[in-house]
Structure 1
Amino acid sequence: MKYLPAIAAVITLLPLPVKAATFLINERAALGGNDAVDWGSLGKVFNPSAPDFSVFLPNSFSTTSQGGLGLDINIALTNNRQITPPFVFQTLPSPGIRSNFAQGDFVLFGGIDPTGFIPLPPGTPDPGTKGNGGPFSISFTQPIFGAGTQIAVDISNLEVETFITAFDNVNNLLGSFSVLSTSSLALDNSAVFLGIRSDTPNISRLVFSSSAPQFGLAINQVSIIAVPEPTYTLAILVFGVSGAVLKLRQRS
């Protein structure tokens, strides 16, 4: 028993979780993700040159990250019956779908009103086409440290505010941030990155939205800071210390 204070002292020196401080990340590399979801993995990609409406997505669906993390996605329903269901497209030069994501990116899009689409001559400012601006809600089957994605709104040359909001597993608000952004058709990877990160794995749901919900919202690959596989450092340390104590007792 006389060795228990020493064991307690060793365990006390181990780092303990600190109070979460959720904060904004505005670059994908700075997020430091160890997992991701690429929307192309859904296997349903809309091709504007050969439209196949069977690739449209329900407003609520589930998928799995590259690391095996489950995600539930919910895109708010719209009252405009002309707007298509959500779909994934690959951003490519004309006759593909252009955006200001990187060429080749797979993009999750809320939906668009095709009756309002008017082809424009090159160089003509895009007035925007009505669409489903969400919000997009992503719930994780296991709490994470953080996540983020590039985000765009289907209207060019108009500055809008885009938001990311995080909640824990009992729906407590953890933090909300926004950035101003401008979309375009430049295929130049200029879509802003909007991420959030916490110092403890307490993020269970993220919501993406914009100040112009009448225009379609789009996000590309979601980078995730997932909780790594559990380690047993503490258990091994305690076991080792206990073993040493036992040997000392046997010798004495």
Structure 2
Amino acid sequence: MSGIIFFKTKMLEELRTFYIDDIGCTLWLEQADCLIFKHGNMLFGFCTRDSADREGMITFFFDTREQVDRFYDKFREIAFSQPSYNEKYEIYQFFAHDPEGRAIEFQCFENPVDRCLDAGRLLTTRRSIRKFQEAMIPEDILAQLFETCRFAPTSRNTQSYYFKTIRDRAILNQLAATRGSSSAPISNAPMAVAICSDPGLTKRVEQDGCIAAYHFLLAAWYFGLGTCWIAAMDRDDVKEWLNIPNDHYVATITPLGYPEQFPVAVPSRNERDYFIRE
């Protein structure tokens, strides 16, 4: 958290209903005559006063046009106009107003930007990606990704894992053909990464490798990159192609790239109590 933007209001309860029920914000804090809402990693609040702030704008941004369109369908009656593409800022947007007449904007960026995910959205929105854009990943983004991944935990802090980058198209295609349709996504990406661990450094080679792999998948999603866990790649032929020692463990080989599109639909999940055993 780095800060909160506050507005004066004369309609606190109406705003509570609008921002929670209609926008989908969560109530982060209720304190005296103030409400603070959370949307993604944005915090904004309203406090009851004798006058209301209506200057400025509250902007909600999303990953896809479909998400913006969904809100337009919901707020069509209070929208200023239909969603449109803004060439100057490379965003898809529409404007509306809240119950107090305060301007609000719904948009998605159509140029590459840092995704700015909070921990909750990172954990709940990550998806397996099997189709990718052809664009190569900038080296500075890869550097940030691997810098984040070096903090993956290991048994006794042995730091036994490592990441093998794969860019050779012939090898990518070879890996993609290894397990038929299961490994095919590797050939759809501009590169792949093998996440491995060294048994000479740890007695928990599988655990360390798998923890590092999942850390990598989450970190990649944070930087706007798609991955897909390809299982059963701890094979002698794969290790030979990648020059990985035979006794090392390959937790997964994942394709890595910018998703062709970000999934919008949430996959079906059992209710929370299903996963809790007494």
Same fold (TM over 0.5): no
Instruction: Choose between structure 1 and 2: higher helix proportion.
Output: 2
Instruction: Choose between structure 1 and 2: higher strand proportion.
Output: 1
TM-score (norm 1): 0.29
Higher RCO, Cα 8 Å, sep 6+: 1
